[in-house]
Chain A
């Protein structure tokens, strides 16, 4: 379950640290283990221009957040949320679906984690924080326009 990709991202997290500017900031926690992520999303119109974060947690939650930032930065919020949906579906598959590597890239490494129900929520922590922050940031962008 701990593939090289996960270990690499854990040891060198992409886009880690908190940066300005940002449209919304959220804190998500996993109460059963104490993992926490403070995550910021910056948008320009509909496009995700940056995701920055500070997180504490296990290799699964840290690496999944790192991989997530690679996937969503540069995409529209709609596209990013589509990836969130695909990733979530893969994580809830108990490892029984064939993930689309062209779409999910490094995130397919987490298919092994999907076989450990207790660890699925670790992999989803950063993604759910992104979904929350992106929705808030998008609402902010739309307020600016109107």
Chain B
């Protein structure tokens, strides 16, 4: 059976929208994905028929809401190949999941210990580690990148980046800017060899690739619901159960306790230890529906489409005059994420600012992101302040890429005309 994008698009009501006189070309899915009707309906149905608080409400509706929330957890656990549902902690987003990881995993770090990240990380996988190092006196180190946007493994080996002082390594699986797929299993092997733990930011990968947290070799994996056709307000941290069991709480409050006395408290086992307060209940239901939806299509098919549409876009954008793609322009054997960031200049060498590009594209129905995409250090490393990013998903059509290319030509010609 061939993959039918037009058929899939019928599941997403928003994709029929127009922006002014143009059809919407939504090329900002790395920012947030659109939602299929089944996800929208699952959330509405939960609120309409089953709404109550979880765990603490003992009545019929409470039981239904609790069961629905836990069913969401089971679906997410299955989706990422977790050994058991209790390995999935719900958070409000990937940022909170990474903050949880940094806070709880790093609680006993001390001066002399080292945490390793990379220069290509999203701010959410930089700042929590900076805060941790400030708090504990540990040292933050990072992988540099090669000119084509890959982790510079040779330089890392030469400078003994991962060594006996390393306690935690935290890396993006797939870059949200240059689309690089990082060799997580290989680096997890290096980390484990020195007794360090491997944390993975899976925000851009889990929505696009078949995920098996055990094959990945990681100890903790953060990801978010809204980038995988689920609702906003829910993310997750997967962790090996024995590891989670030994980690101290992050946020304190209701439902994360065992016994509270004024002189001190004891804490619930995972995942509840890390879910203080009323959790994102309807969102867990929606995210469960999202994993059902993606599973129904098949993640292998979703990944194959991503690869096809990314190859088409790399070729089409490569032909745009004045356009320079950041990072790798080829899809290597390891694959490439569907985020393509680029700069655009006029024939006489004027760099057109990404916010101007974005506004021009928006006026022609094309939604992209302009700026540093929450990865300022990466842009600084590449010697630029900002870029324009187009990103794709299971519903992206070749004709939307064509609409992007036409709008880019129009933009460059506008800025390029001689005053």
Interface residues of A (CB under 8 A from B): 1-2, 4, 7-8, 11-12, 32-36, 56-60, 62, 116, 119, 122
Contact = CB atoms under 8 A, between A and B. Distances in A.
Contact of B370 (A7, A11, A33, A36): A33
22 contacts: A1-B359, A7-B415, A8-B419, A11-B419, A32-B371, A33-B372, A33-B386, A34-B371, A34-B372, A34-B385, A34-B386, A35-B385, A57-B353, A57-B355, A58-B356, A59-B352, A59-B415, A60-B355, A62-B353, A119-B355, A119-B359, A122-B355
B371 A4 contact: no
B9 to A, nearest CB: 27
Contact of B414 (A2, A119, A122): A2
Pick the 9 closest A-B CB pairs, nearest first. Answer: A58-B353, A58-B355, A33-B371, A59-B356, A34-B372, A34-B385, A58-B356, A34-B386, A56-B385
B227 interface: no
B379 interface: yes
A7 B379 CA distance: 25
A34 B379 contact: yes
Counting chain B residues whose Cβ lies within 8 A of the other chain, the interface size class is: 10 to 19
Contacts of A58: 353-356
Contacts of A122: 355
A57 B384 CA distance: 11
Nearest to A57: B353
A107 to B, nearest CB: 18
A55 to B, nearest CB: 11
A11 B353 contact: no
A62 B415 CA distance: 14
Contacts of B240: none
Contacts of B414: 2
A33 B359 contact: no
A60 B356 contact: yes
Contacts of B355: 33, 35, 57-58, 60, 119, 122
B419 A4 contact: yes
Contacts of B415: 7, 59
Interface string B43-73: 0000000000000000000000000000000
Contacts of A1: 359
Given A4-B419, A34-B371, A11 B376 contact: no
Contacts of A8: 419
Interface string B361-376: 0000000001110001
B14 interface: no
Given A2-B356, A59-B415, 19 more contacts: A7-B415, A32-B371, A33-B355, A33-B370, A34-B372, A34-B376, A34-B385, A35-B355, A35-B385, A57-B353, A57-B355, A57-B385, A58-B355, A58-B356, A59-B352, A59-B356, A60-B355, A62-B353, A116-B359
Point out which of A4, A34, A60, A116 has the most chain B C-beta atoms below 10 A from its C-beta: A34
A91 to B, nearest CB: 16
Nearest to A116: B359
Point out which of B356, B371, B385, B414 has the most chain A C-beta atoms below 10 A from its C-beta: B356
B10 to A, nearest CB: 31
Contacts of B356: 2, 58-60
Contacts of A119: 355, 359
B350 interface: yes
A21 to B, nearest CB: 29
A16 to B, nearest CB: 14
